[in-house]
Chains A and B, each alone.
Chain A
Amino acid sequence: MRGTLNDQSLIYLQIAQMLEDDILRGVYREEEQVPSTNELARGYNINPATAAKGINLLVADGVLYKKRGIGMFVASGAEETVRRKRKAAFYDGFVRPMVKEGASLALSEEELLAMVQQAVKEGEEK
């Protein structure tokens, strides 16, 4: 988990995102237990209700599930679920702003696509 929270987005969203990051990185594998609401509250000095809200968000998305009396666990197929969610968020959070920024610089569609292709190529060469 990341060491600190920032104030650029709501805390419960950051908690959910950090847990997702850790699932993608293999910190928590499928069917493994994740930290409890109280552990998260203690670890980040946040209100337990806020931590619970973050966890519940992931439960609603099918990333985590509750074992009664034991705690929260990573659902099977969670990694795939998170990746699918992130792809949708990638479109809204990166691709669309990029196109908007391109438009404000009066880049044509061809120029923009050429830039993306070049960046992909440079990435492959590294």
Chain B
Amino acid sequence: MNTAVLSARGVYKSYGKKEVLHNLDLTIEPGKIYGLIGRNGAGKTTLLGILTAQNTLDQGEVTYDGQTVWENQRALDNICFSRELQPTLFSGQNNLKVKHYLKSAAIYYPNWDQEYADRLLDEFKLEPKKKICQLSKGQMSMVTILIALASRAPITILDEPAAGLDVVMRERFYQLLLEDYTQTNRTFIVSTHIIEEAASVFEQVIILDEGKIIENCPTEELIDQFRYVSGREDVVDEVCRGLEVLSTHQMGRHKTAAVRGGGVKLDAALSADVDVSPMNLQNVFVALCGHGDAQ
């Protein structure tokens, strides 16, 4: 089994005056499916680009198996970053054809599995001769998914693979991902905005907020730290004392608080006259990254 770790240490990145990543540390262990979530503009794509040496960084280092990834053929052979396709290239239309993308992927990735690629091409009903600019958004996502899966790279990164896919196709995508993962046990990093339906697929979840990793831990362990506590205002306040309150919502005397705390403290809440209900990953994400924007 592969034991190489992909790791970022002290990464800073700015675009002009805007700092996108701020002293970021991240460790990607082999053999797991990671979910990367963050709000629009949080720096997800920038981070993924830097992890795969497709973006420059201002400070810090990214290593794979102890070696820097920058201009390191041996490391980059093992990492596939399937970027979102764009209908335009530079200043014109993206007139490259699907087959051109597949051909370059076959050259670029040493573990490329042509038979698997053909099978997926068939299943997704993609026309190899079609130009990228003629594809729908969903079909562009399918091309990036196809390249990512068929690359068979030990570390495979997908940026917003679910964007534009209909719900049937999204389910099928997660099925394919899990099937391949079960067979190969390679590492996947998947960024997505459609959180809830992906939560059960992620073993580990990474939350990026304002240029920093604020969480990187097993999905269920994270979710289990959070609860909604609701009831009469003063009782809720009493129960929540000593717990980290992330957001509150009030209607008259009825108050609901999103709280974070260890098991023992939450158990204390159960014996008071309040309702305690669990959160799902989406609720947790909103509680952590909402910053009071929408309540």
A-side residues, CB < 8 A to B, are: 5, 7-12, 38, 41-42, 44-50, 53, 100, 104
Contact = CB atoms under 8 A, between A and B. Distances in A.
B200 to A, nearest CB: 4
Q: Which 5 A-B pairs have the closest CB atoms?
A: A7-B280, A46-B200, A47-B203, A49-B203, A10-B220
Contacts of A44: 200
Interface in B17-39: 32-33
Contact of B178 (A11, A47, A53, A100): A47
A50 B220 contact: yes
Contacts of A41: 178, 182
A82 B91 CA distance: 66
Contacts of B110: none
A7 B33 CA distance: 20
Nearest to B202: A47
Given A12-B220, A45-B171, A7 B273 contact: no
A81 B289 CA distance: 43
B60 interface: no
Contacts of A10: 220, 223-224, 278
Interface of B: 32-33, 171, 174-175, 178-179, 181-182, 196, 199-203, 219-220, 223-224, 273, 277-278, 280
A11 B196 contact: no
Contact of B182 (A11, A12, A48, A53): A48
A53 B220 CA distance: 11
B84 to A, nearest CB: 23
Contact of B175 (A7, A9, A42): A42
Contacts, number: 51
Contact of A45 (B196, B201, B223): B201
B236 to A, nearest CB: 15
A77 to B, nearest CB: 29
Contacts of A100: 273
A104 B200 contact: no
Given A42-B182, A45-B174, A45-B178, A50 B200 contact: yes
B160 to A, nearest CB: 19
Contacts of B223: 10
Contacts of A48: 178, 181-182
Nearest to A12: B220
Contact of A50 (B181, B196, B203, B278): B203
Nearest to A48: B182
A53 to B, nearest CB: 8
B37 to A, nearest CB: 15
A47 B220 CA distance: 11
Nearest to A38: B182
A7 B228 CA distance: 14
Contacts of A50: 200, 203, 219-220
Contacts of B220: 10-12, 50, 53
Contact of B201 (A9, A38, A46): A46
28 contacts: A5-B200, A7-B196, A8-B278, A10-B224, A10-B278, A11-B200, A11-B220, A12-B220, A38-B182, A42-B175, A42-B179, A42-B182, A44-B200, A45-B171, A46-B178, A46-B200, A47-B33, A47-B178, A47-B201, A47-B219, A48-B178, A48-B181, A48-B182, A50-B200, A50-B203, A50-B219, A50-B220, A104-B273
